[in-house]
Amino acid sequence: MSFDVSRIRAEFPILAREVRGVPLVYLDNAASSQKPRAVIDAVSHYYEHSNANIHRAVHALSEEATGLYEGARTKVADLLGAASAQEVVFVRGTTEAINLVAQAFVRPRIAEGDEILVSHLEHHSNIVPWQMLCEQTGAVLRVAPIDDRGEIPLEGYAKLLGPRTRLVALGHVSNALGTIVPVQEMVRLAHDHGAPVLLDGAQAVPHLRVDVQDLDCDFYAFSGHKVYGPTGIGALWGRAELLDEMEPYQGGGEMILSVSFDKTVYNKVPYKFEAGTPNIAGAVGLGAAADWLRAHDFGALMRHEDDLLDYATQRAAEVPGLRVIGTARRKTGVLSFVLGDIHAHDVGTIVDREGVAVRTGHHCAQPVMDHFGVPATTRASFAAYNTRQDVDQLIAALHKVLEIFGE
Ligand code: PLP
């Protein structure tokens, strides 16, 4: 399988459209990626041919829908290198997965003065659920520092592990900077202290080969919409024995075996965590996205994205006043930067007029912005379908910004 970017682009219908009278250059992939025809078709085919509620009825459509939903679970398990599909819980996305682990796994096992360890690189969704848990229980949030490249020095992290660490929660890849975090080593260190580890893989699954067994983590979370799949669906992988031990997250239909006013018996894993009618079409779409990723040469895809990052970093150096924020030695395709004194929102608005979609702001990672002493950055983030020409258009648009601001 060779990597042919024009063939990949042809699979994404939205890339053919224009915005503001110019062809779209979509560089906001870390926020949400575009969807290939295979995913769009899987979702509409599901609604056109198989739509029904799952698990409950004996009629043909329900059986078909159940088969598709459970089939998607197996595809996600394969994508993550999980030992069993029963270890995959469908959730709304990474945010819900992290809240689930906080409330159903950590909360019953934590006491006042115990600690949760995160890093300074985290997305708000891997900070706020832990702050809420600390408020509820009197536990303490510890934060591993980052350096000026946007890396987490291992010594600083290791020093914060201790006998009271009840969970370590780490982003696998930083959404704001693209830093690839050495999570395997960090999991090993946490396990040496008996602390389980949750990895937030929202920015990793689209760009890296993830194998939860190799990583040896205890929980792994990601979102469908960042990995060429639909919104409103994602997955939490957890070690079977931990999921088994955990109490349910929410109560309702589907998550029970029997209910009476005297006693309710919960369903087995993973259904115990999937109360109510799930996002069936979303799961089907996510299964199609997993198939799509696995059908491509992932090594070639990673090399393509690396090439785009190198090229963009090199071309960014030509733009007067541009300062890259986040220069980790191992990065995915994220170029975060500030441009002189021009506010990121002004940069974003002007490049948008040239058809270039980038993200501006704090990227739900305000502590990262605080570390670098900036309120916001402009972030270009790459996916499989981006090209060097997209980078050239971004750079040309940045020169326009400088012209307008007379810099
Ligand atoms: N973690 C990281 C690293 C992210 O980049 C994001 C989304 O930007 C999230 C968590 C939250 O994902 P979602 O909004 O899909 O739940």
Chain segment 349-390, per-residue pLDDT in tens: 999 999 999 999 999 999 999 999 999 999 999 999 999 999
Tell me the mean pLDDT in the region 129-153: 98
Cβ neighbours around 262 below 10 Å, total? 5
Contact 107, 139 (CB under 8 A): no
Residue count of the chain: 407
Four-way CATH pick for 5-29+297-405: 3.40.50.2300, 2.40.110.10, 3.40.140.10, 3.90.1150.10: 3.90.1150.10
Q: Is-contact 167 197, C-beta < 8 A?
A: yes
Residues of the chain with CATH 3.90.1150.10: 5-29+297-405
pLDDT of the residue at 90: 98
Residue 200 near residue 180 (C-beta atoms within 8 A):
no
Ligand 1 contact via 94 beta carbon (within 6 Å): yes
Gap from CA of 21 to ligand 1 centroid (Å)? 31
Distance 235 CA to ligand 1 centre (A): 12
How far, CA to CA in Å, does 234 sit from each of 115, 130, 153, 214? 27, 20, 30, 21
pTM for the model stands at 0.98
Can you tell me the distance from the alpha carbon of 114 to that of 112, in angstroms, rounded to the nearest whole number?
6
pLDDT at 168 over 80: yes
| Mean pLDDT, rounded, for 150-176 | 98
* pLDDT at residue number 406: 83
Which residue, 89, 111, 330, is CA-closest to 198?
89
CA 363 to CA 382: how far, in whole Å? 15
Find the 27 Cα to ligand 1 centroid distance in Å.
17
Per-position b or e across 101-110, b if 16+ CB within 10 A of its CB: bbbbbbbeeb
112: tokens are 């006042």
For a ligand 1 pocket test, name from 94, 174, 225 the mutation site with the most ligand atoms within 8 angstroms of its C-beta: 94
Q: 93 — alpha (psi -120 to 50), left (phi > 0) or beta?
A: left
Question: What pLDDT shows up at residue 254?
Answer: 86
Q: Domain 40-294: give its CATH architecture.
A: 3-Layer(aba) Sandwich (3.40)
From the CA of 202, how far away is ligand 1's center (Å)? 5
Strand blocks (E) in 185-230: 197-200, 219-223
| Dist. CA 362–CA 376, nearest whole Å | 5
Q: Which of 158, 148, 163, 234 is nearest to 193 (CA)?
A: 163
Q: Is the CB of 29 under 6 A from ligand 1?
A: no
CB 199 within 8 A of CB 180: no
pLDDT class of 2 with cuts at 50, 70, 90: low
Checking DSSP bridges between strand 334-339 and strand 322-324, what pairing results, if any?
Answer: antiparallel
Does 252 have pLDDT greater than 70?
Answer: yes
pLDDT over 70 (residue 25): yes
Q: Is the CB of 218 under 6 A from ligand 1?
A: no
Atom of ligand 1 nearest to the CA of 97: 16
Of all residues in the chain, the percent with pLDDT exceeding 70 is 99
Tally the C-alpha atoms within 13 A of residue 295's C-alpha that lie toward its C-beta.
11
Average pLDDT over residues 18-27: 95
CB 201 within 8 A of CB 172: yes
Is the CB of 115 within 6 Å of ligand 1?
no
- Displacement of CA 397 from its chain's centroid (Å): 28
Delimiting residues of CATH 3.40.640.10 domain(s) in the chain:
40-294
In angstroms, the Cα distances linking 82 to 115, 188, 247, 269 are: 28, 19, 22, 15
pLDDT exceeds 80 at position 142: yes
Q: Is the pLDDT of residue 1 over 70?
A: no
Q: Sorting pLDDT into bands at 50, 70 and 90, what band is 55? A: confident
pLDDT of residue 122: 98
